[in-house]
Amino acid sequence: MFSALRQGSLVYILDKSEPSLKIGQVVSVSSPLNQFGAYGMTQSTVDITVKVEDKN
């Protein structure tokens, strides 16, 4: 799901605590980092920076 994000992509953020929908724009995406989880399985993580309402 997050692997398709690129700089400039839109991200929709639903805040359920105070029902609202915000739209952000991807500023940067890191390269996938592999981590070893339980039972020898590999997980990938990606750091994403999103700009929402002039804040990163």
CA angle 43, 48, 52 (to 5 degrees): 145
What's the pLDDT tens digit per position in 32-48?
888 877 777 788 888 99
**How much is the average pLDDT of 25-37?**
87
Q: How confident is the model at residue 28 (pLDDT cuts 50, 70, 90)?
A: very high
DSSP summary character for residue 55: B
Q: Do 46 and 32 touch, CB atoms closer than 8 A?
A: yes
Residue 32: its pLDDT value, please?
Answer: 83
| pLDDT surpasses 90 at 3 | no
- Burial label for 19, CB within 10 Å (0-12, 13-18, 19+), is exposed
Query: What are the residue ranges spanned by the domains of the chain?
Result: 2-51
Collapsed DSSP state (helix, strand, coil) of residue 41: coil
